[in-house]
Chain A
């Protein structure tokens, strides 16, 4: 037996029906960074890569003119991913990365879960980023009408605003603001941005901390006001509701007791997992304050903690962004103070 190969990077591309996923995919696979890529789609008909298709290898497999493989999901996506990894390991197929294009109505959570938790898949694949397309023309109406689209935006690492050439600037800015308030942690990119492919090729889901951003007057993780009745060290804020979805930020000045903090995160994921779309945080740890920890949760799953060699910015405070749906964010604050602070936690 050969030693286990390094997991293959995979990008999850999601976005509502007609939001420009396929157009983006078309562009992406032409970038050098995505040259040796396998594209996993639900149906060839949907993807519109016809002009690229040059060879039918087998019923569910096509070779594109740039050397990429396009593969349609037969049965279960999990099986398809396992099968591709197997063929790659046996040397039957050569590719360096994969992009999964979900259907427009898909909830990304189960796919993220499988890629990060399923023992077979997570050893063979490494999720790099969840990319969500939001259409600048119809995006606002879609967010109003379709809860799926709100979840897709809430779970994204990267938001790509599409069709910006067809919409007026004010409208684009309004939509951007709205999506940012849903997901302050996400990076915004232009589809034409040549940097996008490079960004995605080098992204790391596990280390995906990025300073949350919002227009200056709304920045949720930089507010310094103290809430009445709270201990002096935590600040928090949350944005307006969107289909029951709220982005909630928590900032804590003092370094935290790592084990207590992680136990709290486990409890939160166990008790509120169905309501947690994404949680990302950078944590200052007592005893090791120069090396922050990056934590991530998707639904019920708390991902292994990643230790960074240094802080990415001057701000060395614990900062977390909780993108939650249909739950009272007060429970996050209350249980953090009760359990997350370890020996300093309030006793009942």
Chain B
């Protein structure tokens, strides 16, 4: 059967292409863009029987790309867990837990997110634990914080997980104990979260169908925000199975680049690391690309687990503490070379400037040992928010991609939380995006959803231009001199991200031969006041020429 052609015309199209950034007509054949330009030129390329759609001046843009999210985890939270905002107060959290416990079948855990990490000191007490026990009505309860690096669980959960005061633990983070009695308070940090996550996962999420539905839900939410391509930032085996199966069934409405974890950070069942790398090709489908490995080189600054070059703010108990990395330089370099041998680029979580320095050192070691060769990969520093002197230039020299996520380039809750542990001068210089652009670093944009409650790429887009909170005053800015222009910020969320993912022949701009991944929005984002960009409403989202979302 001959593929049908649709001719869209009378449109205000931002193509996202480096040349010919604007157009008024676009022909789509078999899900690909067959021509784009003005009606007179595009019209000549289509047969008279082509379907014609008059867009009546609608604003068309390329589908947006989110380079960093956890779509399946987010989908799961929406479908099967209790969601609440980090601003919710302590009693509010307990009453939601009680409500969820009333409807949770026996044998399942009550799971919820995200409590603000500012609650942790209060949660870390036997009195609070008692309250959580009461609210859980006998069910195991597990709550995640807004960094996703910590858990608060009740006594039933610890019992189900077989964790008690004698449970040994080594690694980053820890199991919190009441100072007076030595009893566990239910707070688990960083690597210790595995101890409870493991049992919750096995209890609540053993059925693969749940994962498949979660992927579907996650992608649907992303489509509603105008996103048509993503990099899943930490793709465990079961997620990879689900996303791959969904694509084979024809139900995946986005390009999904997977990041296979090299090292267990949080617990997930199934093969991991090299074992997963070796089977990755089984999961490659038309839209699923298992092309990245995921490293986690440190924790998060709010936990004082990010690796810094200079010390954290002192506390009464500690001074001069800088945090530490999860791997040494030789260990990291060796694993990175292993990833390259498997054809994988690396997405490297570096929340602190010390971890970013280690990542750059490691990439340089691999280049020095392996020499320049075709298998060389374009690695990413994820959360490139804190960078030491000279490291922006090193990123450019080593061709390292900046994965800018979550949105930490305007004043807000996240930025305020960082000021509790980081010296002000570090926070004042977060996310040096303009320096990166000028140095020639490929800058890409991500949300880190569900670490932030919505995959709102528009918010980050506006913030890059204004360095001000879209919800706040225009005058309150963070590093105003690091602002970039709107056209450059749009590239960050489209073509730059596509290039970083190796998807630029498929998507990232509206050009002939590429997938017809476009969105129709309510305003021209390059013609309006930058302060209005975040208000952009996505009216419809099209993936491979099919409408996958409509407002």
Contacts and interface: CB of A to CB of B under 8 A. Distances in A.
Interface of A: 263, 266-267, 269-272, 331, 334-335, 338-339, 348
Interface of B: 328-331, 333-334, 337, 364-366, 368-369, 371, 397
Chain B CB within 10 Å — which of A270, A331, A334, A348 has the most? A270
Contact of B368 (A266, A269, A335): A335
A331 B366 CA distance: 11
A271 B365 contact: yes
Contact of A270 (B334, B364, B397): B334
B331 A334 contact: no
A271 B334 contact: yes
13 contacts: A266-B328, A266-B329, A267-B329, A267-B365, A269-B330, A270-B330, A270-B331, A271-B365, A331-B369, A331-B371, A339-B368, A348-B368, A348-B397
Contacts of A335: 368-369
Nearest to B367: A348
Nearest to B334: A270
Nearest to B332: A270
A272 B365 CA distance: 12
Contacts of B371: 331
Contacts of A339: 365, 368
Contacts of B366: 271
Chain A CB within 10 Å — which of B334, B337, B366, B397 has the most? B334
A191 B33 CA distance: 80
Contacts of B368: 334-335, 338-339, 348
A266 B365 CA distance: 12
A331 B328 CA distance: 21
B163 to A, nearest CB: 27
A48 B329 CA distance: 49
A270 B369 CA distance: 11
Nearest to B364: A348
- A contact patch SS: helix
A311 B365 CA distance: 33
B294 to A, nearest CB: 20
A338 B367 CA distance: 12
A335 B329 CA distance: 14
Contacts of A331: 369, 371
Nearest to A266: B330
B517 to A, nearest CB: 38
Contacts of A348: 364, 368, 397
A337 to B, nearest CB: 10
Given A266-B330, A331-B369, A348-B397, A271 B364 contact: no
Nearest to B329: A267
A26 to B, nearest CB: 43
Contacts of A272: 369
Contacts of B397: 348
A348 B400 CA distance: 15
Contacts of B330: 266-267, 269-271
Chain A CB within 10 Å — which of B334, B368, B369 has the most? B369
Contacts of A263: 329
A263 B330 CA distance: 8
Nearest to B330: A270
Chain B CB within 10 Å — which of A267, A334, A338, A348 has the most? A267
Contacts of A267: 329-330, 333, 365, 369
A271 B364 CA distance: 12
A271 B329 contact: no
A331 B369 CA distance: 6
Contacts of B331: 270
B52 to A, nearest CB: 56
Given A271-B365, A271-B369, A335-B369, 17 more contacts: A263-B329, A266-B328, A267-B329, A267-B330, A267-B365, A267-B369, A270-B330, A270-B333, A271-B330, A271-B337, A271-B366, A272-B369, A331-B369, A331-B371, A335-B368, A339-B365, A348-B368
Chain A CB within 10 Å — which of B329, B330, B397 has the most? B330
B242 to A, nearest CB: 35
A271 B329 CA distance: 11
Chain A CB within 10 Å — which of B328, B331, B368, B371 has the most? B368
B370 to A, nearest CB: 8
Nearest to A268: B369
Contacts of A269: 330
Contacts of A271: 330, 333-334, 337, 365-366, 369
Contacts of B329: 263, 266-267
Contacts of B334: 270-271
Nearest to A335: B368
A119 to B, nearest CB: 15
Contacts of B369: 267, 271-272, 331, 335
Contacts of B328: 266
A290 to B, nearest CB: 30
Nearest to A338: B368
Nearest to B394: A348
A339 B333 CA distance: 14
A272 B330 CA distance: 11
A267 to B, nearest CB: 5
A259 to B, nearest CB: 13
A272 B366 CA distance: 11
A335 B337 CA distance: 15
A339 B361 CA distance: 11
Nearest to A348: B364
B14 to A, nearest CB: 39
A331 B368 CA distance: 8
B519 to A, nearest CB: 42
Contacts of A338: 368
B374 to A, nearest CB: 16
